[in-house]
Chain A
Amino acid sequence: MASMLLNSMRTCPVIFEFSDVSVQTKSKKTLARPSVKNIVLVEGVRTPFLMSGTTYVSSFHWGLLHKTGIPKDAVDYIIYGTVIQEVKTSNVAREAALGAGFSDKIPAHTVTMACISSNQAMTSAVGMIAAGQCDAVVAGGVEFMSDVPIRHSRKMRKTMLSLNKAKTLGQRLGLIGSIRLAHLAPELPAVAEFSTAETMGHSADRLAAAFGVSRVEQDEFALRSHTLAKKAQDAGLLKDVISFKVPGRDIVSKDNGIRPSSMEQMAKLKPAFIKPHGTVTAANSSFLTDGASAVLIMSEEKALAMGYKPKAYLRDFVYVSQDPKDQLLLGPTYSTPKVLERAGLTMDDIDVFEFHEAFAGQIMANLKAMDSDWFAQTYMGRKSKVGTPPTEKFNLWGGSLSLGHPFGATGCRLVTTVAHRLQKEGGQYGLVAACAAGGQGHAMVIEAYPQ
């Protein structure tokens, strides 16, 4: 799947969107700085995000080869983000690149940073271009929750490893004899923090409770996400999605997790993590998703020299981290003010907000935290709150709750969506913010490319 994206990266890079240019950009100063290279987003694509288990993808589509859209040597480097790694393809970026028919002379590496893995892939690319190492980098992310590696239990692994080392038949038989039924129970990877052993949903529920976010508020936000996603999908706004053919099945061309429901329906669900009094349910959480995404990032000169029309400038970005237990999902709260300060902007300057929606409760908690002077002063060491993004600018084309959240691939979707929304809505600045396991967070400022 990832290689297919890379293909499309090569085949459909130059799409000029003249139809929407009628909307005028507001006149704001640009964030361009002398001595800092302008780095642009040329294109962003993704597969449809599919609920895990709905289409079983057994492996990457190594065989999909198309004619090259850009010269083979135009891409200098490939970076991919992923979270749950298949042991056999631990450097998934390289395998995908080769499979997609990129030149075997283009190096590729894989990064991982939980839910912001592809953000890390993109910012790594930005760093390489800024440092003058490369001019064009493909960055992306991929996640297959339908096929996660399931390990033998620790005891079994230990026995099997010792078995390798056993020299005599007696030793081997002894080891085999030591295997008990309990050894055979497999170990499923859990979305749990290593440091606290708490699952993310459990933490989100506690976070929502800490900020006094009610079940109704969460359900309303989830419903909003699904409704907006459906509208965007129907209106054909999700242009970053490219169709692909599932071997042995039909062509998939739409995200299949968008399901606007009713408040009554959602209210019927039982809490998924904290039972029986929790507030986080299956309906107000993002679901396990398969999917891949990719972006082509270039230095402005190179893009223009090659005849591309960039979509947006990638400007300042920050990474933050905090307590993985009680503030696991507060990344946006911490990263937003920090990135705005770096860019010299305020909340009012931002026209487009795209926050990663891990859980409706998490988003609501972040909004409340951003609106609290007490929290800013007590926990962030700031003088005052940063403020909340206005609803009319916030995640207008749906979010991870409705579109889905393939851990490694969400970042590129957010950035591409901001770029597309800036074009469509005529804004100048967009802000991406996301939280990630480990108590980490990320935010990036994106500036519209003059149309």
Chain B
Amino acid sequence: MAGVRALGVLSRLTSRRYALFTANSFRTFSVAPVMQARTHVDCEVKGDVAVIRMNDPNSKVNTLSIQMQKELTEVMDEVLANNAVQSAVLISTKPGCFIAGADINMIQGCGTAEEVTKLSQEGQRMFALVEKSPKPIVAAINGSCLGGGLEFAIACHYRIATKSRKTVLGTPEVMLGLLPGAGGTQRLPKMVGLPSAFDMMLTGRNIRADKAKKMGLIDRLVDTLGPGLKSPEDRTIEYLEEIAVDCARGIANKKISLHKEKGTMQKIQDYIMSFELVRNQIYKTVQGKVMKQSKGLYPAPLKIIECVKTGVEQGPVAGYLAESQNFGHLAKTSESAALIGLYHGQVACKKNRFGTPEREVKTLAILGAGLMGAGIAQVSVDKGMHTVLKDTTEAGLARGQQQVYKGLNDKTKKKSITSFERDSILSNLTGTLDYSSFEKADMVIEAVFEDINIKHAVLKEVEAVVPPHCIFASNTSALPIKDIAAASKRPDKVIGMHYFSPVDKMQLLEIITTDQTSNDTTASAVAVGLKQGKVIIVVGDGPGFYTTRCLAPILAEAIRVLQEGTDPKKLDGLTTSFGFPVGAATLIDEVGIDVAAHVAEDLGKAFGSRFGGGNVEVLKTMVEMDFKGRKSGKGCYIYQPGLKVKDINPEIEDILEKYKLTPNPAVSSDSDIQYRLITRFVNEALLCLQEGILNSPLEGDVGAVFGLGFPPCLGGPFRFVDSFGADKLVEKMRQYEAVYGSPFTPCQLLLDHAKDPSKKFFK
């Protein structure tokens, strides 16, 4: 789970192409006309302070690309050599970005681990030069300061940051299966202490400027400015620079001391940390936590701990060496490749490939204020969309509105928004029991009960009141959209928007188009999803679309495994140790037994024996006994409010006993159970691509990981086929096919890949 969540936080690292220099992309700068013109870095001397301004002309963000590093080194050398300069300020003129990190493509472009190690060592050398500079260097930070950007900033002598919401600091390398490879593992512990440094590097989370100040990561905060004689963004950067220049001068004149007065808590912490015993205990605890969360499937966190430990215990020389070597090693692991692939996929799925819609959705109406409906309202209302939430009963509506309120109120408690902002956001939410507010709706998303007749009824009711341009989106998890659209007067405006529960936590949105859905309708649905902050895959219509269709076989297999006498806890253990964030039994409970039964039956009818496996009657019996999963308090497990530990529901053992199957020892080892589950998932995913439901393997991987929790360390079903080997996968499937039959028959696409090893989904 941590992996999935972690990736979500990843914000601004970018992949970008190098633009070759053309005459018009040249920008000349004032300082040294004799020198070759620089394009990324500019240096202006203001009195005795050199202002080094970074701005990558070819990208939305600054990255520590080869060009950027080269120019920075040149400018640094000039600054150090210039006797008129006493101090320097490092600032980015790019709005919303200081440095977003190293250039991923630069790392991926390296052939061997040794090359990557060399890159890391070059970075270390450059920052050592900054750190040892006799002229104080002030980092003036506005916008994202991540990864290599943060490592650069902490190598400087003083850090000033704006309070802008866009100003975030962090070391997200771990989310790409890497570690901070330019001195980060060595400098961070010294700067913020071991516990905070581990927290930052192991979670990769973003830290806002005010928090960073408290942690000691930032020395001074600067307010953002409103409109003046220039735009707020431009003036804020200018203001930041003015203050940084004064500050740099102050440090050079010894008017501002670099020595920080330590607080009592800090002194106590330092004292405690001076004992080797205590430090060892910390390493042990952190290591234990990492192992527990990652099941040892992710090498990067362990290497981070190792680098920090080496640096602290054996000194900087050993520390920096360990850092660069481990960085090189990690960059060439399959886990890192998988995570970086997912990152690229996520970036791609945050774009609207259908173009700009003709009309922006300003009023969004949602039918049904249940968990889903209210969840959709929650992620829409704070994005500036006027949101209408309709339910049939007052009680249902009140529950839904309360859910939206609670979601926002939790944000106020975490101080990410103020109570005033909460109230003003809520004023955009209209609760209603009738269709009166639908006249202005630009889009209606229905989240009513999964029954084709009810869906048809609401579709007709909606079409009677909404304006002609209004789009009707169905949040269904399995009903084919064309069946729903059959009742519509304008099927070109009907589309599927499949959200995942809980809507505010799950990043994925699966958009389903039929042959009749117009391009503009799709563009509009994607635009709304992007506004809601979703990662979007657009798939073709069919029973179960993509995600539900992949989920059904794995659930069917999980039920079979249960019937064969594996208890839910064991099953959960097997799946999580394979990398799934949630165990299979728990997943069934989360999805809801009734929903699972429904889906199993529907898709079973549509796809026949391939979707066989466990007996649907097991699920049906459970539903009859009101074991509907977490929502009813009982499923495979018993759920008690406030209790985190859950016990197996004893009554389900009787049911499983009733439907007991005898396991075949040839295919029932722990590892076999894992592969039985995963191969069915993967095979179905490939079938979706083969049948044209999926547009690309990339979308397939993103959908599987962000929607269904496919192990992020494997990068998704398609990357898994590439890395595991299609032939080996086919071999396993044939072995299971011999016992269980058609559910394990490999699809043609998989067979093709198995036959020709040069065929890969990702080059």
Q: Which residues of A contact B (CB under 8 A)?
A: 194-197, 202, 205-207, 209-212, 274, 276-277, 323, 325-327, 365, 368-369, 372, 374-375, 378-379
Contact = CB atoms under 8 A, between A and B. Distances in A.
Contact of A277 (B225, B227, B246, B420): B246
B232 interface: yes
Contact of A206 (B223, B229, B420): B223
Closest 10 CB pairs of A and B: A326-B226, A210-B228, A210-B225, A211-B228, A195-B420, A277-B243, A206-B223, A209-B239, A210-B226, A372-B229
A365 B224 CA distance: 16
Contact of A326 (B220, B222, B232, B243): B232
A277 B255 CA distance: 13
Chain B CB count within 10 A is highest, among A205, A206, A368, for: A206
Contacts of A325: 226
24 contacts: A196-B418, A206-B223, A206-B224, A206-B226, A207-B226, A209-B223, A209-B235, A209-B239, A210-B227, A210-B228, A210-B239, A211-B228, A212-B228, A277-B243, A277-B246, A326-B232, A368-B228, A368-B229, A374-B229, A374-B230, A375-B228, A375-B229, A378-B231, A379-B227
B225 A326 contact: yes
B223 A274 contact: yes
Given A206-B224, A209-B239, 4 more contacts: A196-B418, A210-B227, A210-B229, A210-B232
Interface of B: 220, 222-232, 235, 239, 243, 246-247, 418, 420, 424
Contacts of B222: 277
A320 to B, nearest CB: 15
A377 to B, nearest CB: 12
B420 A196 contact: yes
Contacts of A379: 227
Contacts of B227: 210, 326-327, 375, 378-379
Contacts of B420: 194-197
A368 B228 CA distance: 9
Contact of B229 (A205, A212, A326): A212
A327 B226 contact: yes
Chain A CB count within 10 A is highest, among B220, B228, B246, B247, for: B228
Given A195-B420, A206-B223, A211 B239 contact: no
A379 B228 CA distance: 10
B575 to A, nearest CB: 47
A323 B227 CA distance: 10
A277 B229 CA distance: 20
Contacts of B418: 196-197
A205 B228 CA distance: 12
A209 B229 contact: no
A211 B246 contact: no
Contacts of A276: 220
A244 B253 CA distance: 54
Chain B CB count within 10 A is highest, among A212, A365, A375, A379, for: A212
A211 B229 contact: yes
Contacts of B247: 277
B420 to A, nearest CB: 5
Contacts of B232: 210, 326
Chain B CB count within 10 A is highest, among A196, A211, A274, A379, for: A211
A196 B420 CA distance: 8
Chain B CB count within 10 A is highest, among A194, A209, A365, A379, for: A209
A327 B424 CA distance: 19
A375 B235 CA distance: 13
A389 to B, nearest CB: 18
A280 B470 CA distance: 52
A194 B419 CA distance: 10
B244 to A, nearest CB: 10
A82 to B, nearest CB: 24
B223 to A, nearest CB: 5
B225 A209 contact: yes
Nearest to B236: A210
A402 to B, nearest CB: 26
A344 B224 CA distance: 38
